[in-house]
């Protein structure tokens, strides 16, 4: 069996997982989260992650900290959105709140 050579070309970035911007914009409009953007920090059910896109289920694609795969997350279910300074923009973590 031949050997493979592997060369590290740089640190992986969550930006490499960003999805289609048009789909993302459409989902944000449908779900009334026009403030959201790809790369925005989000907390879902207590887990921190980064929004990388949206999908045909009108949900967000999120990569959670320490992971390198995309998760399908409802934008209003136990979510807390953060701006670039770490301030809460929208909080949907209270019982009965935020389901869109």
> Under CATH, which architecture does the 14-84 domain have?
Roll (2.30)
What are the residue boundaries of the structural domains of the chain, listed by start? 14-84
* pLDDT class of 47 with cuts at 50, 70, 90: very high
Q: Residues 89, 64, 77, 58: is their CA dihedral positive or negative?
A: positive
* pLDDT class of 6 with cuts at 50, 70, 90: confident
Greater pLDDT, 47 or 3: 47
d(CA 59, CA 98): 14
At residue 32, the pLDDT reads: 96
pLDDT digits (tens, 9 = 90+) for 70-98: 999 999 999 999 999 999 999 999 876 55
pTM: 0.82
């Amino acid at each position: 069996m031949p050997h493979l050579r592997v060369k590290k070309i740089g640190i992986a970035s969550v930006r490499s997982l960003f999805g289609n911007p048009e789909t993302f914009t459409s989902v944000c409009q449908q779900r009334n989260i026009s403030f959201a953007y790809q790369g925005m920090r989000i907390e879902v059910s207590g887990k921190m992650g980064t929004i990388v896109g949206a999908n045909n289920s009108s949900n967000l694609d999120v990569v959670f900290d320490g992971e390198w795969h995309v998760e399908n997350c409802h934008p209003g279910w136990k979510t807390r959105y953060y701006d670039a300074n770490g301030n809460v923009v929208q909080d949907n973590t209270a019982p009965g709140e935020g389901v869109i």
